[in-house]
Chain A
Amino acid sequence: MQRHLISAADLTRDDAVLILDTAEEMARVADRPIKKLPTLRGRTIVNLFFEDSTRTRISFEAAEKRLSADVINFTAKGSSVSKGESLKDTAQTLEAMGVDAVVIRHGASGAPYRLATSGWIDAAVINAGDGTHQHPTQALLDAFTMRRRLVGRDAGIGQDLAGKRITIVGDILHSRVARSNVDLLHILGAQVTLVAPPTLVPVGIETWPCEVAYDLDSTLAKSDAVMMLRVQRERMNAAFFPTEREYSRRYGLDGDRMARMPEHAIVMHPGPMVRGMEITAEVADSDRCTVVEQVANGVSIRMAVLYLLLGGNEPAVSHTRIEEK
């Protein structure tokens, strides 16, 4: 029995809507004085982080603890991984400890898939970001934020994002957030336009279910949501654009550009934001910017995913693609 969440592309439309609807109920738990449910009592979840990510890890940790799971945090730094232990050995150690689920963040694209399909471990595997490949819970929380803002909190139940126009701007080449979002938004019926300097557009993008543009200004007026990506300085190992200033001028979102968006349109950012580079402080602090909401929604989405994958004796979310392989 497969019970993993590796890629947003593995989800069907109904699965994705079920996760969003479940998250809407989970969000209500956050409004209560006692933010805890007994649902995963007695289950052990390991947060296996080979790559630093405080934000994603504490989001998962909060979700796991709200569902009463036992949580073990594992960071590669200072562990046997830094002494040369392989992913396989780590997995087998966790298996021997009787872990029920592994939330994995890895710098190598495909590591969660390998963990889920190699037979090293029986536990559910949830991808918390692998290389430049996928970050499915991020895409789900983004879609959740869009559905709440663009369709409505209660009106959105059972709905997808059909007909919504989403623009994703910035470093598409290195972005697992962009990849996951394109997959999921397509599944949910939205039209996605990617905007980036030509050097930051990956090879083979014509096979992605989205449009590509190189000019931000021409797309703003017809966007329901504009998602700014972080310029990943740590991955900028080649001259992808001449100067930061030029990038900012052509692809940064400032007050003027925001004013050209439709009135209902929102500005999103997966965080961490580099203020002054891809987004100005004026935009980042405006009411239309959903960055803080996205963080809160992240906990609800992760609770929903954990509940649907681990809550019962078999997952409620189907994974056709993995099962075919």
Chain B
Amino acid sequence: MDNQDTSDHQASDARPVLEGPDIARVLTRIAHEIVERAKGADDVVLLGIPTRGVFLAQRLAVKLEEITDRRIPVGSLDITMYRDDLRMHPPRALARTEIPGDGIDGRLVVLVDDVLFSGRTIRAALDALNDIGRPRAVQLAVLVDRGHRELPIRADYVGKNLPTSLRETVKVQLAEEDGRDTVLLGVKQT
């Protein structure tokens, strides 16, 4: 969840780049890509990164179940304790880590997040996974890739590539948390 840069975001000057139906379509496409690449998604476990990654993971699980007719385990992975910038801010309240009952050992874990930015969140998530088990492989699905990577990390499944400048902000709103589905592109208030 690389969206700390969006906290000062103001809705007034932000323009939507993805609306509700686009987000649903994008998730359907990602679900199909997962099934294709994982050859049936037999051993897939979806882990969302709180807060919005978890909702996206849950939506993806529903779509995967429709395609494969099988129940897909879904959980959440809070990476707060593994962040490399912990000492630069006051400690954040912890979110929920919920690993599906069968664990992640030997499974294909698909991490799900809303925005891929510096890549540091995903780095922390990989560390957190290390402490929980040993997946067969780890893949990454994001709704928006806005660029500006600081680490050699890339997503396997991208909803929308959104070339941005560092002066811009990307804010994802989802019905479960914000009452509506949209991705907003704005300009950072200085």
Q: Which residues of A contact B (CB under 8 A)?
A: 18, 21-22, 25-26, 28, 32-34, 36-39, 307-308, 311-316
Contact = CB atoms under 8 A, between A and B. Distances in A.
Given A32-B132, A36-B131, A313-B87, A22 B93 contact: yes
Interface SS majority for chain B: loop
Contact of B91 (A26, A28, A37, A316): A316
A287 B52 CA distance: 40
Given A38-B82, A38-B127, A312 B91 contact: yes
B99 to A, nearest CB: 8
B91 A311 contact: yes
B179 interface: no
A130 B91 CA distance: 27
Contacts of A22: 93-94
Interface of B: 78, 81-82, 86-97, 127, 131-133
Nearest to B89: A312
Contact of B90 (A25, A32, A38, A316): A316
Interface of A is mostly: loop
Contacts of A316: 90-93
18 contacts: A21-B93, A21-B94, A25-B78, A25-B95, A32-B132, A34-B131, A36-B131, A37-B82, A39-B81, A307-B94, A311-B81, A311-B86, A312-B86, A312-B87, A312-B90, A313-B88, A316-B91, A316-B93
A316 B96 CA distance: 18
B86 A39 contact: yes
A308 B91 contact: yes
Contacts of A311: 81, 86, 91
A67 to B, nearest CB: 8
Shortest beta-carbon contacts, A-B, top 6: A311-B91, A312-B91, A25-B94, A312-B90, A316-B91, A39-B81
B94 A313 contact: no
A32 B96 CA distance: 14
Nearest to A309: B91
B96 A25 contact: yes
A105 B95 CA distance: 32
Contacts of B94: 21-22, 25-26, 307
Nearest to B82: A38
Nearest to B124: A38
Contacts of A26: 94
